Amino acid sequence: MDRAAPVAAATPSRRHGVREGEGFTILFEDRFGERAIPAWPGESVAAALLAAGERAWRTAEDGSLRGLFCGIGVCWECRCVIDGRPNTRACQAEARPGLSVRWQVGPGLLGDGG
C-alpha cells in the first residue's frame, strides 16, 4: 500500500501556549495603582490582562467586578478606558507598545469619577 507523505503546512507552526515575537508592555491602572503588563504582537488587551493574572478591569453600576466574559465583542463586559476612551472593549482592542488601560467605573466614568 502506497501512502502519501504528509504535506507541510503553508503557515509557520505555532507552539501552543508560547508567546512569540518581541514583547512589550502596556500600562494598566487599576483601583490600587499602576503597573506594566507584558504583551506580545497580535494579542488583545484582554488576553494580555488575563495572562498577567488580572481577572477584572471594571466596576459595574451595582459595584460588582467585571472582566472578560464572551471574548468576542458581543457582551461588552470587558469594557475599560483605553488611551482615554471609556467603554472600549478590551477583547477587541489590540495591545501595542505604550498603550494605557484604566479601570472603568460604571457607565463610562473614569476611575476618578470624572
Task: Please state, rounded to an integer, the average pLDDT across all residues of the chain.
Answer: 85
| pLDDT of res. 111 | 47
Q: By the 8 A CB rule, do 19 and 41 touch?
A: no
Residue among 49, 74, 58 nearest 106 (CA)? 58
**Does the pLDDT of residue 13 top 80, yes or no?**
no
Q: By the 8 A CB rule, do 104 and 82 touch?
A: no
Query: Can you read off the three cell numbers belonging to residue 42?
Result: 497580535
For the chain, report the end-to-end CA distance as a whole number of angstroms.
73
Q: By the 8 A CB rule, do 112 and 92 touch?
A: no
For residues 9 and 31, the model is more confident at 31
Q: Kind and range of the H or E element at 51?
A: helix 45-51
The mean pLDDT value for 101-113 works out to 75
| pLDDT of res. 109 | 53
Q: Kind and range of the H or E element at 56?
A: none
**Does the pLDDT of residue 107 top 90, yes or no?**
no
